[in-house]
Amino acid sequence: MKPATFEYHAPTSAEEAVGLLADLDDAKALAGGQSLVPMLALRLAVFENLVDLRRVDELRGIETRDGSVWIGAGTTQATIGRSESIGLNVPLLARATPLIGHLQIRSRGTIGGSIAHADASAEYPAVALALDVELDALSPRGRRTIPAAEFFTGTWSTELEEDELLTGITFPVWQGRAGFAVEEFARRHGDFAMAGACVAVGVGADGRIDRCAISLFGLGPCARRATEVETELIGTSPADSDADEIGRTAMAGLDSVPTDLHGSASYRKRVGAAMVARAWRRALQEAVGD
Amino acid sequence: MSGSQQATDTDRYAGRRVKRVEDARLLTGRGTFVDDVVRPGMLHVNFVRSPIARARITGIDISEALALDGVYAVLTAADINPYVHEQWFSLEGRHAPDTPRPPLAEGEVRHVGDPVAMIIAQDRYVAEDAAELVIVDYDPLPPVVDYATAFDSSELVHEAYPGNLVGQIGGRPMADLAPTFDNAPHVVSETYHQQAYCAMPMETRGIVTEWSPSDGTMTIWTATQSPHEVRGFCARLLAIPEHSVRVVMRDTGGGFGQKVLPLREDMCLMIAATKVPAPLKWIEDRQEHLLAAGQARHEHGEARMAFDDDGRILAATIDHVQDAGAYPSPNPVGSGIAVGLIFPGPYRIPEGTFNSRFAFSNTSGRVAYRGPWQFESVARECLLDVAARQIGIDPVELRRKNMLRRDELPTANCNGMPYSDITPLETFEQALEILDYDAFRREQEQARAAGRYIGVGTCTYVEPTAGASALYGTEGATIRVEPSGKVNVYVAGGSCGNSLETTVIQLTADALGVDIADVSSIQGDTAVTPFGGGTGGSRSGPMTAGAVNQTATELRGRILALAAHLLGGVPVDEVEFTRGVASVKGSPEKQVTLAEIADTAYFKSGSLPAELSVGLEVSGRFRAQHLMLWANATHVCTCEVDIVTGEVKLLRYIVSEDCGPMINPNVVEGQIFGGTVQGIGGALYEELAYDDAGNPVTTTFMDYLLPTAAEVPTIELGHVETPSIGPGGYKGVGEGGAIGAPPAVINAVADALAPFGVRISRLPLTPATIVNLLEEAAQRGAAGAAAAAGAARTAVAG
């Protein structure tokens, strides 16, 4: 369990980092290393060049902007977990954070690393998808902003080019009566989820659901939205919603649900339905509550 | 008289929560584990391992690996295996029937992870690079993956073992019991299948071997439970004198049975060290550990019990099959017999028998694991709960009816095991009282009415400890009062976290009558410590106490004689000696300290009468007086099962145990906590799993799941202290936690799910497994209802 030889680079600016990623052969960005380093140690991944982002200060920070919160991609999960501003303005992100691994892992793991790695079972990609975040990317060709809905493209794959770096994530702040919940089922505390769901729901002045996002993780090649159920729920009365039915509907038609030692696809869907239902109940209660 | 005896008792260190002397170095990161050993010019070993469960090796090309910068040697079976002179374990003896165990795979690989070649390189990184360059041509053969069907397989793991049968062993014929079972009002049976799981010490295996060609001596640093076993094994392996081998272990980060014996990689390092002009180090990484450090617990058995109308057990049998893997260490038959022998457990069972068979398979070899016979408790205790439900009696009542009482002891169980000094019923009642069993049943009723499923499970077991086998039947100690009056006690060692240093110091301070701060212990170095069996078989407490007490008694006699002389020639029986100070009874003002006594013994020998011994050093060897010492315990567990996800959440966990008087309650409790968590892991989380082609699928801690602090509730303890017939009344306590936990957890889950008619027969109880059980029970229920409806219709029609 020792990695193969690699060249180590430690740029101090994002421009420099993407320059290295573009110029070097077989280069990979290293953020918190909580996924990449074990893969290197097991030689499941081998790269000639690693571009460490730890010295790139501009990638870190949490800024409250007009109607949104910007988080630098290099901000650690532990920092996010401690942030009062995030607890207040992006409750779903705050609630998902303690579910990531353990404190030691969160102290190194970054939000950008988690989203760019795009593990199917990870919490942050699902949060990003549910909240329709905007992802800032930088490459030698310039900056662009990618909507979350277009970012995740498959198993461990994203819209990012090989020489493109995720630099920041902009989370919209939901106004009005809203509720947020994340539920996941993992074999042990801190394990990757076998199935999980994020729910964000808003209730309008007329008392009807006017915003609704349900994202799923651990239930496909990457995080995904339960778009059909969301559409059905808009305009309905919270009192009429049947959480168990919503859970079942969210699972209907899901393809490519993984099967492994810990559970079959059908088991995951059973648990996924329960996670959606539980998250829905909690989020809705918060939205309609006092 | 009784007053002074009491005063002495409260002065004793044994029985107190003395702080561990190991902790200062371990908690500050100053322990010395094998990987901390660095020798001048040392090279690093990495093994090329088979990626295939079974294949013929048709060629090995090492040229590219050998050409890599930093690689010194690449050795294959032809370079290593011919140099095995003798290969047997002191634990088993020279003439014990043994199973094949070549250092490197020769001709055929027999499991994924089978070592095929060893790389010797400047560091582990290069050694791993080189391993990727060794080209092994494999001609795949059909593997025998499932041991349960191995007897019927036409493929053989080892040519010399027809039907893949390692061996079998049993009691009287099962047919003898037929009349009892045929006529019994209730017969209950179930076949339980336990998954493979294994010891997962925080420190993996590891060894450093250093050969000195000039004088033909070998020095070995290794993670072991028994340095003297390693020494003898190496001497025989290489055909060099035993005194030419020195084995040193300082700290070993967990053994659990896995490090009782040197294994195949250790042999490779021992032999290779004599072939290359450098010390060699191999530190097993976690992936290797999960591939090749051995498996345990993989077995199944049909357990049967017959009951009379009142729920009294009439007979009990078990027909048991165990997976030996490809290269078990040792031959599993000798220890496997314990499953059948102890199957009757702490119950009054008039007759019974057992049969055990052992099968080779193309998987990692079986090794010892904390309570290797633990399946007896799984099968018995789970079956008792099934019986209770079938007969319609509370499982606690069923056990009370059948459990042995103090006034029935000593006794022998129906398979001949001689029980004495056990308190199963006392621990059972104590644990249930800690829980408040009746209150739990009321809570359970309310919970079920509210759609929540909680359950309680128990396990009561008896356990042979400090077994007096050939290697384990004696233990030595050397105690030396140094010229300054400080004391060193030398014992064989093999402590792997079980606090032998602290325990020995407590025992020695008590036995000699000195201050504990003046005692230190030297262990784990075969060059300076007395020969001993090491840690294993829950023997360290009683056997070390025997060795220390016997040795200290003689040394104390010498101290008293010298003190009597120094106190003016008073009779020895008028000398009192406590906390390192001697005085004459009734005249406490006249004192002589141990430092003064030692000073006289070493430096003023000319002033001493001839009949007094000079120096203060004694070696003694204790011989076990009994075949084994019985310990016992009851585990009680409560849990809640989420019937949607199948998740099991443990609510309370209680252990009431009787290991005799406790030398150090902290140490005893640490042993119980650790073992219990391993047992919880076995019931719910851990599985060393293989796919149908024999590929291990749990090769990292992402998939091999160990319970963590988050999964384990506070373990509540009760103690019953009944002295054994052994030294100090002590009994072993190392293994029991791992025996008692799985059945208690399984029974709690089964109890929680009883309303659904779930029957548990396969482990571990993963969430997905529990959901399957619920779905199967629902189908059975539906089918049963349909059949009943059909029968009703037929009745109406008729």
Grouping H, G, I as helix, E, B as strand and the rest as coil, residue B762 is: strand
* B584 pLDDT tier (thresholds 50, 70, 90): very high
Q: Are residues A186 and A133 in the same domain?
A: no
Does any domain span residue B174? no
- Residue A36 and residue A90 share a domain: no
Judged against a pLDDT cut of 70, whether residue A290 lies above it is answered with no
A250 falls within a domain: yes
How far, in Å, CA of B139 to CA of B374, rounded? 38
By the 8 A CB rule, do A194 and A187 touch? yes
Residue B685 to residue A187, Cβ atoms within 8 A? yes
The answer on B688 and B593 residing in a single domain is no
Does residue B661 sit in the same domain as residue B579? no
Could you tell me which of A36, A35, A38, A9 has the C-alpha nearest to residue A22? A9
Of B285, B687, B710, the CB nearest to A189: B710
Q: Is residue B179 domain-resident?
A: no
Residue B768, min C-alpha distance to chain A (Å):
5
Instruction: State yes or no: pLDDT of B792 exceeds 60.
Output: no
Give the CATH number, domain containing residue A62: 3.30.465.10
Element (H, E) at B235: helix B227-238
Considering the domain architecture, whether residues B39 and B11 belong to the same structural domain is answered as no
Q: Which residues of B touch A6 (CB under 8 A)?
A: none
| Mean pLDDT of all residues belonging to chain B | 96
Could you tell me if residue A224 is inside a domain?
Answer: yes
In this structure, is residue B160 part of a structural domain?
no
CB contact, 8 Å: B644 with chain A?
Answer: yes
Total domains in the fold of chain A: 3
Whether B243 has a pLDDT exceeding 60, the answer reads yes
Q: Cβ contact (<8 Å) for B707 and A188?
A: yes
Q: Answer yes or no: do B328 and B461 share one domain.
A: yes
Residue B488 and residue B453 share a domain: no
Q: Are A151 and A135 in contact (CB under 8 A)?
A: yes
CATH of the domain at A25: 3.30.43.10
| Exposure string over B185-210, b if 16+ CB within 10 A, otherwise e | ebbbebebebbbbbbbbebbbbbbbb
Q: Which residue of A has its CA nearest to B47?
A: A1
> Of B128, B705, B771, which has the smallest distance from its Cβ to A187's Cβ?
B705
Judge whether A263 lies within some domain: yes
Q: Is residue A221 part of a domain?
A: yes
Domain assignment present for residue A230? The answer is yes
Distance from CA of A274 to the nearest CA of B (A): 7
Q: Is the pLDDT of residue B30 over 70?
A: yes
Top residue of B69, B128, B686 to mutate, by most chain A CBs within 10 Å, is B128
Is B644 within 8 Å of A271 when comparing Cβ atoms? Answer: yes
Helix (H) / strand (E) containing A168: strand A165-172
Residue B127: name the closest of B264, B280, B237, B273 by CA. B280
List, for residues B709-728, the tens digit of each pLDDT value: 999 999 999 999 999 999 99
pLDDT computed for residue B7 by the predictor:
39
Q: In what order do the strands lie in the sheet with A165-172?
A: A62-65, A68-72, A165-172, A134-139, A142-147
B483 touches chain A (CB under 8 A): no
Rounded to the nearest 5°, which phi and psi values hold at B40?
-60, 130
Residues B611, B550 share a domain: yes
Residue A2 in any domain: the answer is: no
Number of Cβ atoms within 10 Å of the Cβ of B322 = 28
CA atoms within 13 A on the CB side of B418: 6
Q: In what order do the strands lie in the sheet with B487-491?
A: B519-523, B487-491, B474-481, B617-623
A-chain residues near B644 (CB < 8 A): 270-271, 274
- pLDDT tier, B798 (very low <50, low <70, confident <90, very high otherwise): very low
What confidence tier does B768 reach under pLDDT thresholds 50, 70, 90? very high
Q: Are A61 and A45 part of one and the same domain?
A: no
Q: For residues A2-17, give the mean pLDDT.
A: 97
3-state secondary structure of B270: helix
Question: B3: pLDDT confidence band, cut at 50, 70 and 90?
Answer: very low
User: What tokens were used for A253?
Assistant: 């038609």
Asked if A274 has any chain B CB less than 8 Å from its own CB, the reply is: yes
Same domain as B733, residue B637? yes
State whether A281 and A230 are in the same domain: yes
Q: Is pLDDT at B477 greater than 50 in this prediction?
A: yes
- From the list B132, B287, B644, the residue facing A1 with the nearest CB is B287
The domain boundary, picked from B622, B655, B671, lies at: B622
- To the nearest whole Å, the CA of A4 is away from the closest chain B CA by 7
pLDDT at B782: 80
For residues A168 and A63, membership in a common domain is answered with yes
B767 neighbors A187 (Cβ within 8 angstroms): yes
Q: Quick check: B1 pLDDT over 80?
A: no
Rounded to whole angstroms, the Cα distance separating B105 from B108 reads 6
Q: What is the pLDDT of residues B755-764, one digit of tens each?
A: 999 999 999 9
pLDDT at B797 over 80: no
Q: A65 with A141, same domain?
A: yes
Assigned domain for B110 exists: yes
pLDDT of residue B5: 36
Residues B554 and B674 in one domain: no
Shared domain for B422 and B312, answered yes or no, is yes
φ, ψ of residue A156 to 5 degrees: the values are: 50, 30
Residues from chain A that touch B697, judged by Cβ atoms under 8 A, are 261
The answer to whether residue B414 sits within a structural domain is: yes
Structure confidence at residue B11 (pLDDT)? 83
Q: Is residue B453 part of a domain?
A: yes
Q: Do the domain assignments include residue B162?
A: no
Residues A224 and A255 in one domain: yes
B interface test, pick of A99, A100, A185, A260 with most B CB neighbours within 10 Å: A185
B71 shares a domain with B219: yes
pLDDT value at position B546? 97
SS3 B380: helix
Residues A117 and A37 in one domain: no
Same domain? For A149 and A219 the reply is no
Q: Is the pLDDT of residue B2 over 60?
A: no
Adjacent-strand bridge partners of B221: B208, B248
pLDDT tops 80 at residue A125 = yes
Put simply, whether A3 touches B (Cβ < 8 Å) is yes
Q: Is A264 on the interface with B (CB under 8 A)?
A: yes
The pLDDT score that the predictor gives to residue B793 is 59
Q: How many CB pairs under 8 A join A and B?
A: 64
Q: Is residue A274 part of a domain?
A: yes
Chain A nearest-CA residue for B124: A2
Q: Does A175 touch chain B (CB under 8 A)?
A: no
pLDDT per position as a tens digit, A164-199: 999 999 999 999 999 999 999 999 999 999 999 999
Closest residue in A to B697 (Cα) is: A261
Asked if B68 is an interface residue toward chain A (Cβ–Cβ < 8 A), one would say no
Q: What is the pLDDT of residues B32-60, one digit of tens each?
A: 999 999 999 999 999 999 999 999 999 99
Question: Which CATH number covers residue B739?
Answer: 3.30.365.10
Q: What is the ipTM of this complex?
A: 0.95
Residue B671 has phi, psi (to 5 degrees) of: -65, -40
- A245 with A212, same domain: the answer is yes
Chain A residues lying within 8 Å of B767, measured CB to CB:
185, 187, 194, 262-263, 267, 271
- B505 and B643 fall within a common domain: no
Give the domain-ending residue among B589, B622, B655.
Answer: B622
Domain for residue B103, yes or no? yes
pLDDT tens digits for B270-326?
Answer: 999 999 999 999 999 999 999 999 999 999 999 999 999 999 999 999 999 999 999
* Residue span of the structural domain in which B536 resides: 2-31+475-622
**What percent of chain B stands above pLDDT 70?**
97
For the domain that residue A237 is a member of, what is the CATH number? 3.30.390.50
Contacts of B768 in chain A (CB under 8 A): 262-264, 267
- Looking at the structure of chain B, the number of domains it has is 4
Domain hosting A72: range is: 57-172
Which residue of chain B has the CA closest to A186?
B647
Query: Are residues B316 and B209 located together in one domain of the fold?
Result: no
Range 181-200 of A in CB contact (< 8 A) with B: 185, 187-192, 194
Residues of B in contact with A185 (CB under 8 A): 645, 647, 767
pLDDT confidence of residue B788? 66
CB B105 within 8 A of CB B24: no
CB contact under 8 A, B711 and A189: yes
Q: Answer whether residue B84 shows pLDDT above 80.
A: yes
Same domain, A72 and A136: yes
Please check whether residue A131 lies inside any domain of the structure.
yes
The residues, ordered by sequence, that sit 6+ positions from B342 with a Cβ below 8 Å of its Cβ are B373, B376, B413, B415, B417, B461, B462, B463, B464
For testing contact with chain B, the best of A8, A119, A259, A262 (most B CBs within 10 A) = A262
**Predicted local confidence at residue B795, as pLDDT:** 52
Q: Which of B47, B645, B688, B702 to probe the A interface (max A CBs under 10 A)?
A: B645
Contacts of B647 in chain A (CB under 8 A): 185
| Last residue in a domain, options B268, B292, B316 | B292
Give me the percent of chain B exceeding a pLDDT of 90.
95
Q: What is the pLDDT of residues B393-418, one digit of tens each?
A: 999 999 999 999 999 999 999 999 99
